[in-house]
Chain A
Amino acid sequence: MAYQNLTRAQIRALIFNRIQNSNFWSTAEADDALNEAIRVWNLGVGFWKGRFVLTTTAKRCIYDIPSLVQLESGGVTQVLMPLRVAYNSLPMDPTSIFDMDNGYPGWQAQTTASAGVPSTPNTWGPIGCNKFFIWPADNAGNNGLQIDAIIRAPVLVNDADYINIDSSEIPSFLDYVNHVLMFKRGGQPFQSTMPKLANFLRSIGMRNAHLRAAGIFRGHMGDDSSRRQRPRRIPEFNLGRTTMGPR
């Protein structure tokens, strides 16, 4: 069961409690800023996840996520990034298309009926965040692919909508919303909210060591410049590795 602690209306009231001249901002602005906080949080933390079951198509090795109806809800693709894929409940190994090209040349033309390859798909990999491949392709099709994925952030549309998160995270969301709303004022009032952005990003960094290692995050989180010059546990250049593998 989803968290049902605070509704959008209740959070908006908390937002307007934090800013003195509430007439300067509309409710729509506050709602947009709150939804932005939810989206940024989800991107940084990968907080909201879901399981989807897809039916394999015969011989298909590359699947296009936005065109798969089984991954949609309300006509909108829910999968943001697959994390784990299983074929008929058997977990598959993640790899990159670069590794496949170098480790298994010709993989794209192979199916489970081909000679010298596994009889069931056992490897998958993302291509960008809108496609993924499986190897070998399911020759017969009509089998199950279970996809555990980070899903798109659940934005709040109506005042009665609950935010699906425990209430201990709300203060950092309020910090971010406060900061974003102050952008419109600019100058010193906006500058004075930079520590609030730092608080919000720190709460993301606590859950994501990879982002914590990135210079731009460390700057926003308030790290001093000398520490910014030294690499942390994860070198920044590793951030460049995409789903295509090294280029």
Chain B
Amino acid sequence: MPYSVTDVDLLNTVSDRLLEPRLVPPAPTTTQWTTSDFTNAIDQAQKDFVKQTGIVVTQLGFTGDANTAIGVVPETKAVQMPQDIIDILRLAWIAYDTTNPVIISDIEELPRESAWSLDNGDSDWEYDNGIPPAGYTEDESPVQWVYLEHPPGDIGKLDLIYCAVSSALSNTGVVISVPDDFAPYLIWGALEILLKKDGEAQDLARAGYCHERFLEGVIMAKALLSLPFRMAAEGGS
């Protein structure tokens, strides 16, 4: 179990801050919110946080001692991405040699291209096969699919590092998908959603405050992600 804060922990704190009692499972007792309002809010806050920060990444590919890469059909430009994908962070081509059994001979990152630049600068990019592909584009592909620039003429796979949809939070003790230290910001994100609800629960002033606190967490996360480089560049933080 990588992290320890659970959805119930979040719900208890959210309940406290909205003057609702802590229950097991947590459930509001006033008419302002329903239990599903609470669980949906923490779930949405976590998904939003992961999407905005990329703090936790997922890999389908080659780690050196294991290979879970995405298969590619030769001479086909369209490749389907996994069901839980939010955003591609890095896509790389895994090339194999001609031995039997095949072994990986090279892995090279594929640059993200715009479809317009491909059409105008490399007009046969859809048909002229290449090893490796020269890049990929998402501009005009269906949702969850990418098009490879110069589709591969031979076997190969794709190594994908991506931002994935986090595990669904409810009120059953599911562990959050981000490090525990970011739990306070999931709470602020959930409170923002709950305080923006139409009706007697609405409190836009406090919702605005919660929004700023959530953004504070996003900045904290991005600052943390760049910390090793800044320490190297500046000789310390």
Instruction: Indicate, yes or no, whether A interacts with B.
Output: yes
A211 and B219 contacting across the interface, CB-CB below 8 Å: yes
8 Å CB interface, A213-247 against B: 214, 216-217, 219-220, 238-244, 247
A242 and B3 contacting across the interface, CB-CB below 8 Å: no
A243 and B107 contacting across the interface, CB-CB below 8 Å: no
Instruction: Point out the residue from B16, B54, B63, B109 that lies within 8 Å of A105, measured CB to CB.
Output: B109
A186 and B216 contacting across the interface, CB-CB below 8 Å: no
List A contacts of B159 (CB < 8 A): 108
B59 and A184 contacting across the interface, CB-CB below 8 Å: no
Instruction: Point out the residue from A26, A101, A242 that lies within 8 Å of B226, measured CB to CB.
Output: A242
B151 to chain A, nearest CB (A): 20
Interface residues on A, range: 35 or more
Nearest opposing residue in chain B for A211, CB measure: B223
List A contacts of B107 (CB < 8 A): 106-109
A60 and B64 contacting across the interface, CB-CB below 8 Å: yes
A127 in the interface (beta carbon within 8 A): yes
B1 in the interface (beta carbon within 8 A): yes
Instruction: Point out the residue from B63, B183, B184 that lies within 8 Å of A61, measured CB to CB.
Output: B63
Return the CB mask of A37-59 against B: 1 if under 8 Å, else 0. 00110111010000000000111
Return the CB mask of B154-181 against A: 1 if under 8 Å, else 0. 0000010100000000000000000111
Complex Cα–Cα for A232 and B22 (A): 44
How many pairs of residues, A versus B, come closer than 8 Å at their CB atoms?
189
Given known pairs A59-B65, A62-B59, the reply for A76 and B223 (CB within 8 Å) is: no
A13 in the interface (beta carbon within 8 A): no
A80 in the interface (beta carbon within 8 A): yes
B105 in the interface (beta carbon within 8 A): yes
A210 and B179 contacting across the interface, CB-CB below 8 Å: no
Given known pairs A128-B55, A129-B55, A217-B216, the reply for A105 and B230 (CB within 8 Å) is: no
B64 and A94 contacting across the interface, CB-CB below 8 Å: no
B63 to chain A, nearest CB (A): 4
Complex Cα–Cα for A130 and B61 (A): 16
B63 and A239 contacting across the interface, CB-CB below 8 Å: no
B104 in the interface (beta carbon within 8 A): yes
Nearest opposing residue in chain B for A100, CB measure: B109
A51 to chain B, nearest CB (A): 15
Return the CB mask of B202-237 against A: 1 if under 8 Å, else 0. 010010010010011101111111111111100001
A28 in the interface (beta carbon within 8 A): yes
Complex Cα–Cα for A46 and B105 (A): 40
B56 in the interface (beta carbon within 8 A): yes
Return the CB mask of B91-129 against A: 1 if under 8 Å, else 0. 010100000000011111100100000000000000000
Given known pairs A62-B63, A76-B3, A186-B203, the reply for A130 and B106 (CB within 8 Å) is: no
Instruction: Point out the residue from B54, B180, B212 that lies within 8 Å of A244, measured CB to CB.
Output: B54
A57 and B65 contacting across the interface, CB-CB below 8 Å: yes
A91 to chain B, nearest CB (A): 11
A161 in the interface (beta carbon within 8 A): no
A93 in the interface (beta carbon within 8 A): yes
List A contacts of B65 (CB < 8 A): 57-60
